[in-house]
């Protein structure tokens, strides 16, 4: 190769094509996805997260929870996501349209959290998990405050130690709100129709 400008042009083309195809292409295809308006329930899905849950998402992001947890249910027949009851259906692009900072995750050291709000019933469940940890998850004790116990322990107390009660900090409260809000809607007619056709075709091929 002797021609410097031609090399430069080639570099630009290689970069530009992959950018246009993958980055811009997906953005153009998925950028116009709108929420599905359910006339029976008179609500649009997916719903926007309440403010407290949005603040909790920042804590989730700050702690780097996505290093161990994913937030995507893969399609039936690919992995065991549906058998593990992480969701009744696979995740669709439409589920994420309100997310300004995606937390899909790359690793499953711990379980998928797409529908963890349906598995953990109360904030108390989340606090216990965060404070005590498990064999595979560390305890996040720094998310809790210790304060003197005067009479009865607070309803939110996760433990009482030497005359002190351990209560969730504001960060733990918003994180719990975020996790409890993680639930996907039942289904969307468009995606359901497409998947039914695909499933029938796959069945016919077998």
Query: Which residues of the shown chain bind another protein in the complex (CB under 8 A)?
Result: 1-2, 4, 7-8, 10-11, 13-15, 17-19, 21-23, 26-27, 29-31, 33, 61-68, 70, 72, 74-75, 78-80, 83-84, 90-93, 95-111, 133-142
Q: Quickly tell me which residue has 């259906």 as its tokens.
A: 89
Instruction: For another protein, give the closer residue by CB, 37 or 142.
Output: 142
Q: Please answer whether residues 84 and 108 qualify as being in contact, where contact means their C-beta atoms are separated by less than 8 angstroms.
A: no
**Does residue 5 sit in helix, strand or coil?**
helix
Query: Minimum distance from CB of 26 to another protein (Å)?
Result: 4
Shortest CB 108 distance to another protein, Å: 4
Residue 145 is inside which H or E element, if any?
Answer: strand 144-148
CB 174 within 8 A of CB 56: yes
Compute the least distance from the CB of residue 153 to another protein, in Å: 22
**CA dihedral (50, 167, 102, 68) positive or negative:** negative
State how far the Cα of 125 lies from the Cα of 168, in Å rounded to an integer: 12
Nearer to another protein, 42 or 134 (CB): 134
Cβ partners under 8 Å of residue 68, min gap 6: 105, 107, 108, 109, 110, 137
**Beta partners for 147?**
165
Specify the residue, 3 or 42, whose C-beta has the smaller distance to another protein: 3
| Least Å from the CB of residue 129 to another protein | 13
Q: Least separation, in Å, of the C-beta of 29 and another protein?
A: 7
């Amino acid at each position: 190769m002797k021609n410097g400008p031609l090399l430069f042009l080639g570099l630009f083309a290689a970069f530009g094509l992959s950018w246009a195809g993958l980055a811009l292409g997906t953005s153009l295809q998925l950028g116009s996805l709108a929420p599905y308006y359910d006339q029976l329930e008179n609500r649009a899905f997916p719903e926007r997260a309440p403010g407290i849950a949005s603040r909790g998402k920042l804590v989730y992001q700050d702690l780097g929870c996505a290093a161990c947890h994913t937030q995507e249910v893969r399609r039936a027949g690919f992995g065991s996501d549906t058998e593990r009851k992480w969701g009744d259906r696979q995740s669709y692009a439409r589920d994420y349209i309100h997310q300004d900072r995606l937390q899909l995750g790359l690793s499953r050291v711990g379980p998928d959290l797409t529908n963890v709000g349906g598995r953990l019933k109360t904030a108390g469940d989340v606090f216990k998990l965060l404070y005590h940890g498990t064999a595979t998850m560390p305890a996040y004790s720094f998310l809790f405050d210790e304060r003197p116990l005067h009479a009865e322990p607070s309803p939110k107390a996760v433990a009482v130690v030497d005359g002190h009660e351990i209560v969730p900090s504001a960060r733990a409260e918003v994180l719990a709100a975020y996790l409890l809000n993680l639930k996907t809607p039942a289904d969307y007619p468009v995606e359901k129709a497409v998947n039914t056709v695909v499933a029938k075709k796959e069945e016919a091929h077998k």
